[in-house]
Amino acid sequence: MIEALPLWALAAVFAVGAATVWAAGTRLAGYATAIAERTGLSGAVIGVVLLGLITSLPEVATAGTAALGGNADLAVNNLLGGVAFQIMVIAAADMALRRRAITSTLPTPAVMLQAVLCIAILTVALAGTIVGDTAVLGIGLWSGGLVILYVLGMLLLHRAGSDRSWVPPPGRFSKTREAGAEAGPAQAIGNGALALRTGAAALAILAAGYVLTRTAEAIAVETGVGSQMIGLVLLAFATSLPELSSAIAAVRLRQPGMAMGDVFGGNITDVALIALVDAFYGGPPVLNSVNAFSSLAALLGILLTAIYLVGMLRRQDRQVGRLGYDSIAVIATYAAGLALLWSVAA
């Protein structure tokens, strides 16, 4: 039914889906903050484990649908291209933080570990696109390696959540609390109701995110834009809305680690979803079905993640306007990378 709608109606459906995802993502950040308080886990760990998984639900729907439909190119480009777009969400959260560069406010090293894991899993995916893959039990060996790396990474992040050996320097860095600063109304909710509301927000994100991606595909057909760029830009925007809304809400709750953990955790999950595409795709290993465009998209994601990793290591609270130097570098690099990808897709 969505494909039969005229372009103006598709735009209206897209807007409604975007509003639904935005509202659910905003509430989800409050619920995650309350969960962090009650479990004793850091906001960064909750961001990658809970928010990262839930906000990746639209990618699950998109990747699975595209793979079942035989469009491996669109599925992989959405997953790998979405990594770079979602890193731009950190720049938006940086702007929402206003008074400090977001990478100077992190009280634990957990987010840095997430960035390293993100680079590692992207590197494995990139290697698979370069050397090719071999199918074993229905999925490629490289795709299976992504799942193994994801599981090991989650275990490592879980252990890192209780590590207090890294202490931030005194002064402005220690003033940004990772839990309990502004928990919001979700703190007054009982455990059962909190779980139900979190689940409801996740279902809303899944349903609305699926509508968004189907609408984006239909818009691509109506406008004549190719599947590579539509996967990188429009679909990436649609599936990144949960991260954008929850990250900005987390920053407003004084949880910058949760905001960045949401983005990096979502990216780690998205790259691991290539194995899901492999399982659903009826053809050869999916990494054999992509081209230089996907490899370049993975490289762009690695570079943008590395820029923010440098910012987190240097912890310099310097801004131009309301953006840290690293966010400015990320925006400029993404724009250049997008232009390069457009030339490759042309």
What does the CA dihedral 315, 319, 325, 328 come to, rounded to 10 degrees?
A: 140
Res 175: pLDDT: 43
Taking residues 215-227, report their average pLDDT. 69
Weakest mean pLDDT among 13-22, 38-47, 112-121:
38-47
Weakest mean pLDDT among 32-41, 127-136, 269-278:
32-41
**3-state per-residue secondary structure call for 293-309:** HHHHHHHHHHHHHHHHH
* Selected residue with higher pLDDT from 230 and 72: 72
Residue ranges of the alpha helices (H) in the chain?
7-39, 43-46, 52-54, 57-68, 72-97, 110-131, 141-160, 191-223, 227-229, 235-252, 256-272, 274-280, 292-314, 325-345
Q: What domains lie within the chain, and their CATH numbers?
A: 2-345 (1.20.1420.30)
Res 105: pLDDT: 81
The pTM of this model reads 0.81
* Selected residue with higher pLDDT from 293 and 335: 335
How many beta carbons lie within 10 A of that of residue 87, not counting itself?
28
Judge whether residue 173 has pLDDT over 80. no
Res 333: pLDDT: 96
* Selected residue with higher pLDDT from 329 and 36: 329
Choose among 266, 248, 217: nearest CA to 102: 248
> 320 in helix, strand or coil?
strand
Taking residues 110-132, report their average pLDDT. 92
Judge whether residue 310 has pLDDT over 60. yes
Whether the Cβ atoms of residue 20 and residue 204 lie closer than 8 Å to each other: yes
Whether the Cβ atoms of residue 80 and residue 231 lie closer than 8 Å to each other: no
Taking residues 23-31, report their average pLDDT. 78
On average, the pLDDT of the chain sits at: 79
Choose among 263, 45, 56: nearest CA to 157: 45
Taking residues 123-147, report their average pLDDT. 90
Where do we find the tokens 């953006």? 323
Token pair for 69: 């439909």
> Residue 268: what are its φ and ψ, rounded to 5°?
-60, -45
Taking residues 80-87, report their average pLDDT. 85
Token pair for 26: 């905003």
